[in-house]
Structure 1
Amino acid sequence: MSHQPTIKEGEWQDGLCGCCSGGHFWMGCCCPCILVNKTHELLENPSNPSPSGCGMWGCAWCGLNFCGGWGWILECLQRGEVRSKHRIEGSGCTDCLVACCCPCCGVIQSHKEVEKRRDAMQGGVPDKMGYQGQAPMRA
């Protein structure tokens, strides 16, 4: 019997300083552009079992950072999208502060959020926010 993740309504599933748990720490610190792209793909298609680390959002994040350190803008927008889609409390101001002051932790937190919500959805059991995955097909 598998353990179904519990989704807390209106809040992040992991705190900002919870970036060390969950297996994304090194990727978030060394190649955050990969997590930025994976997060984008999960926002676009929440049931995607293996989102790609290579894509436009990751490249845009790298390009913006290379050309003056402006990647925080994309990260801020993405955090806002995660909050909006999953009805998480917060504001654009806190998104900007996180993106500017703790970019790696923010990227990891956003990715873990969409990943946990995908995992809850794939169980076929609705979470508290009403997301429900399809039941598995039977042969």
Structure 2
Amino acid sequence: MAIDTPANPTHESQVGNSPRQVQPGAKVPWSTGLCDCFSDVPNCCMTCWCPCVTFGRIAEIVDSGSSTCASNGALYTLINFISGCAWLRSCVNRSKMRKQYKLEGNACKDCLAHFCCETCALCQEYRELKNRGFDMTLGWDGNMQKQCPATTVPAVEGGMYR
């Protein structure tokens, strides 16, 4: 009988969810389809009107907090304003996410998804992270604090008085 530990290569752990069985080297399907945008209407609307926010939230989680939502969103907007090719940046981010979570697909499919329907691809990535237990509005630090709350030290009454 196998023991469920991170050292056991037949298991992949997920933030907020129990581990699920995967074969070593096997790819995991996306939790929702590319065109399931309306399964999360608020995110769908946000992504249609302001994709930089959705991209920023996704990138912050995928980068494990090494970059902020604001900086990623600003870079996305700048690239889109200058060249109209922000989809290239989000395509690279999708590939990174896919490799990180061992999701099905390849670089060609990532580029096609973002080139043909940037909004749908961003929505799918957002839903994937949300389904893996991330609260996308909290960012990386907020999710880490939620997952491992800091221990609180009891308050000590004021110092000595004369």
- Unaligned 5+ segments in structure 1 are 47-51, 120-132
Show the counterpart of 1:58: 73
Quote how far apart the aligned CAs of 1:69 are: 0.9
Quote how far apart the aligned CAs of 1:134 are: 5.2
Q: Deviations over 1:79-114 (max 9, x none)?
A: 101101110010110111111110001111111111
Q: Deviations over 1:10-53 (max 9, x none)?
A: 1111101001112311001000100101011122348xxxxx7x
Once the two structures are superposed, the pairs formed by residues 1-139 of structure 1 within 5 Å of their partners are 10-22=28-40, 23-45=42-64, 54-119=69-134
Q: Deviations over 1:108-128 (max 9, x none)?
A: 111111121134xxxxxxxxx
Higher strand share goes to which structure?
Answer: 2
Give the alignment's TM-score, normalised by structure 2: 0.63
Letter in 1 for 2:34: L
Runs of 4+ in 1 over 4 A off after TM superposition: 4-9, 133-139
Which of the pair has the greater relative contact order for Cα pairs under 8 Å at 6+ separation?
Answer: 1
Which structure's CA Rg is the greater one?
2
Count of matched residue pairs: 118
| SS of structure 2 residue aligned to 1:89 | coil
RMSD after superposition: 2.7
| SS of structure 1 residue aligned to 2:29 | coil
Verify the 8 A CA contact 1:7 1:13 in the aligned structure 2: no
- Unaligned 5+ segments in structure 2 are 1-15, 23-27, 135-145, 153-162
